[in-house]
Structure 1
Amino acid sequence: MNLILLDPSEVDAHHARITDARRLTHLHDVHRAQQGDRLTVGIQGGAMGKASLITLSQHEALFALEDLCESAPPALPVHLVLALPRPRMLARTLEHVTALGVKEITLLHTKRVEKSYWQSPELRADKIHQHLVLGLEQARDTLLPNVTLCKGFKAFLEGQLPQLLSERRGLVAHPGMENACPRDVDEPTLLLVGPEGGFIPWEVEQLIQAGCDGMHLGPRILRVETAVTALLSRLF
């Protein structure tokens, strides 16, 4: 936890109070925090800065807020469309892409996505929020990504994709594409990444026909969480 992320409800004009077990345990066991320590804090959706620890017990921590005037780091200019991964991989991927600065995420159903994945507890709003917060804490960021669930590929293709592409360059990451992943992109981008087995040919064809460009990361077949991290790093 490189940032103690505070919910606005935990903050008044001059103080912040946290009571949840996860952050308290981290303060005790990792920071080994003591009264008077100055730690980096941020208000969800707002600024960051320092706060002095007034009291720390097993049940709560009370901070005195100092000037919170540091802005969150800049977001990546990308909307990530990710075929819904396996639940455990979804958790890690959400944390990774949030830490890297992705602020718009669509989780999409495709042919090779198991329907059972949509029943996973990892898709509950509170679980998604938990993973996003962990990513923000890692990267010292305060701005939560927006996560949208789309359970139909055709509905996405016809209902959402045209509007997304009207404002962004569309890139489909898929093995075997002719062009390599571009570098140092500075324009708004729509990045589409398939599931473990990749998009099926029909899906790739439809995305290309809609105006997306196909690209690849090389001959190696990567796990989704690895591929997404590599793509974002190379693109931006």
Structure 2
Amino acid sequence: MQALCCNPRLAVVVNRSCRKTRAFSSDSSNQSRGGLPRFFSDVLPSSKGSGVRVQGDEFWHMTKVLRLNTDDRVELFNGKGGLVKGSIERIDRTGADIVALENPKLVSTNTTQWHVYAAFGTLKGGRSDWLLEKCTELGASSVTPLLTERSPSISDNRVDRLQRVIFAAAKQCQRLHEMALNPPLKVGGLLPIVSQSKLSFIAAAEATPVLNALALSQREPVGSIIIGPEGDFTEAEVKSIVEAGATAVGLGPHRLRVETATIALLSTAMLWSDSQGLFDS
């Protein structure tokens, strides 16, 4: 049997879109874009005229990289949909005080929250960085490293690096809702998630084409996408995931790398769920 990808069967879940060029249309993506430099802050000003202090890496980027100064205007976001325009009121050696120029707004998502489960722990070089960066840009709600018999681990140091990649990508694409990088999960831990999901797809060789499967599906608030490791899932792993309720879908006639299959399935699912939202409105 011809394998679909080096990691033919994968689990992936995704969220909203946020590319530098507009990949998916929605009210929330329109509201997320502004012309001002944007910085992350755990806490946003509570109302117009109130303030917060920005420190650490964001303060460094604001003042040393972009060389912003007092009275310059910025945007602050909290990674949970909150956004506010502000002005730099004061700068000292440790931070910058930002005063809100308006009441903060909360931008909601209105598309399926896709969660990605991908067995990418053995990827070499920058391939896993690229995978996480593109999942962030495309709008995945979360990514979970999937531990399988052929991809049994991922180092803690690597997880720390991937967190930094996600944060940089979120700022670059002006994403307002953070993409979570979950702790690694074994296939056995994935099965209850699949059984509770009404939208769950696993990439598989010679399966029903993904567009055909989506045409028979209805949009749900949450969905899951599953991608296996290089060398594929074992037959027992595939059987358990499908028996838990996942639909096997094909991604074309060629063998795909783990990261390629993940992005192909995520992009297709995002475009489909976004179009369903437009039709429902």
Length-normalised TM-score, structure 2: 0.66
Closer/same/farther in 2, CA of residues 23 and 7 from structure 1, 3 Å limit: same
- Structure 2 equivalent of residue 63 of structure 1: 98
- Equivalenced residue count is 225
1:147-226 to structure 2, matched below 5 A, reads 147-153=181-187, 155-156=188-189, 160-174=190-204, 176-182=205-211, 186-187=219-220, 188-226=222-260
Unaligned runs of 5+ in 1: none
Per-residue deviation at 1:150?
4.0
DSSP-derived class of the 1:215 partner:
strand
1:27 Cα deviation after fit: 5.0
Q: CA deviation at 1:142?
A: 3.6
Q: Retained in 2: the 8 A contact 1:4–1:42?
A: yes
TM-align CA RMSD:
3.1
3-state SS of paired residue (1:178): strand
Matched, 1:121 2:157: yes
Once the two structures are TM-superposed, the CA of residue 233 in structure 1 deviates from its matched residue by: 1.5
Compute the displacement of 1:3 (Å): 3.0
Is the CA contact (8 Å cut-off) linking 1:110 and 1:199 kept in structure 2? yes
Q: Does the Cα contact within 8 Å between 1:50 and 1:66 map onto a contact in 2?
A: yes
* Residue type at the aligned position of 2:71: G
Q: Summarize the Cα distance change of 1:4–1:135 in structure 2 as closer, same or farther, 3 Å threshold.
A: same
Matched with 1:21 is: 57
State the 1:59 CA deviation.
4.3
Check 1:58–1:122 CA distance in 2 against 1; reply closer, same or farther (3 A cut).
Answer: farther
User: Tell me, which stretches of 5 or more residues in structure 2 are unaligned?
Assistant: 1-35, 271-281
For 1:179 and 1:23, the matched residues in 2 are separated by: 50
CA contact (8 A) 2:202 2:246 kept: yes
TM-score normalised per structure 1: 0.76
In the other structure, the counterpart of 2:76 is 41
Which structure has more RCO (C-alpha within 8 Å, separation ≥ 6)?
2
Aligned mates of 2:45, 2:129 — CA distance in 1: 28
